[in-house]
Amino acid sequence: MAAVPVSWQVEANDGAARRGRLATPHGVVATPAFMPVGTRGTVKAVDTEDLASIGAQVLLANTYHLMLRPGAETVAKLGELHGFMAWDGPILTDSGGYQIYSLRPRISEAGVIFRSSYDGSQVELTPETAVAIQEQLGSDIAMVLDILVGLPATRAELTAAMEQTLRWSERALTAKAREDRALFGIVQGGPDPELRAESARRTAALGFSGFGIGGLSVGESPAERNGALEAAIPELPSGKVRYVMGLGETEGILDAVARGVDLFDCVLPTRLARHGKVLQRLGDFSIKRSEWATSEAPLDSDCGCVACRRYSRGYLRHLFNTKELLGQRLVTLHNLRYTADLMATIRSSISAGSFAATRDTIVAARASQPREEGVDQ
């Protein structure tokens, strides 16, 4: 396949919301789009044919986990990520920055030192090796190594993480070798609007192909998240893609699209599915509830996924209560189809100039049903 530069082009605007086309070496992604998360080279419980069937356009994989098992060299020998996973579409890899947040490694100016979550061995990751590993994996879009700070955090902590991420970003750009692949910068700054604006402005000046907005979904309120986006987005180039990392709940996606975001990823749809939590246009619910024991209704009468076409709520409840793996697979497919359909609806509404009304309708419909305990992300 001939090398194609990664680029984004707007097709329609509706207020700050925008519809566009993200061109990559492995195809074009219609945005706004959601990326199912295949941390270890697989989206749990489903295969890549399933993903194509429910409308997934682009997948996300994790650098930290894949560099440990099976190793980047092994993936490269097996056709890079696309051949390894048998996925012909675009792939984005995150850099391992989230593991800095979740695994608490030792951080220095040089990089980070982890203890492997598999065997306890010492693992070092630097801005340069993070890029090299992602290029070896062959993802269409790589992310810089960044520092993600959980909340609550002091302004000094947020500032230090932002500054280190900026220094590492410069090193990552110097290390980039593959011209047929993209490298995205990451905006940090926590919920502080001034830091967010500064981080976005300085990251944009480095000239990345696109921009992730990180450090969200770590304990901030929706108002804080929206404030961070409102501060950062005006400082980013209008002609490049914007990606909020780790955001997957319906209302949050709608809020972010309304502020000009194009890409999303999150484990939420698949993680909830494995616990029997169903995403649905009229409100999310647990399939394990006793009221579904004899229900002949589908999960959602308007959904075209295999779970909704073929199986009743009663049957799906039975699968979960008997711990049959088919239940996890079917609800995973449903939740991913729900999310893909949500993004398609958003894109259509932007083209039609009706995004605000569509957003209000979706939010009102979901709010009309009692919110179930345990269905939050």
Which tens digit of pLDDT belongs to each residue from 2-54? 455 799 999 999 999 999 999 999 999 999 999 999 999 999 999 999 999 99
**Using 50, 70 and 90 to split pLDDT, how confident is the model at 373?**
low
In this predicted structure, what is the pLDDT of residue 98?
82
pLDDT above 50: residue 376: no
How far, in Å, CA of 144 to CA of 128, rounded?
9
Residues 99-115: tens digit of each pLDDT? 877 888 899 999 999 88
CA angle (50 as vertex; 366, 180 as ends), nearest 5: 100
**Using 50, 70 and 90 to split pLDDT, how confident is the model at 187?**
very high
How far, in Å, CA of 267 to CA of 372, rounded?
19
In this predicted structure, what is the pLDDT of residue 2?
46
In this predicted structure, what is the pLDDT of residue 97?
81
In this predicted structure, what is the pLDDT of residue 370?
72
> Is the whole-model pTM more than 0.75?
yes
**Which residue numbers are catalytic?**
94, 265
In this predicted structure, what is the pLDDT of residue 104?
81
For domain 32-266, which architecture applies? Alpha-Beta Barrel (3.20)
Tokens of 249: 């709940």
Task: Tell me the domain boundaries of the chain.
Answer: 32-266, 273-367
In this predicted structure, what is the pLDDT of residue 3?
53
pLDDT above 60: residue 377: no
Residue 93 CA neighbour count, 13 Å, CB half: 31
Tokens of 145: 């190594």
Cβ atoms 157, 99 nearer than 8 A: no
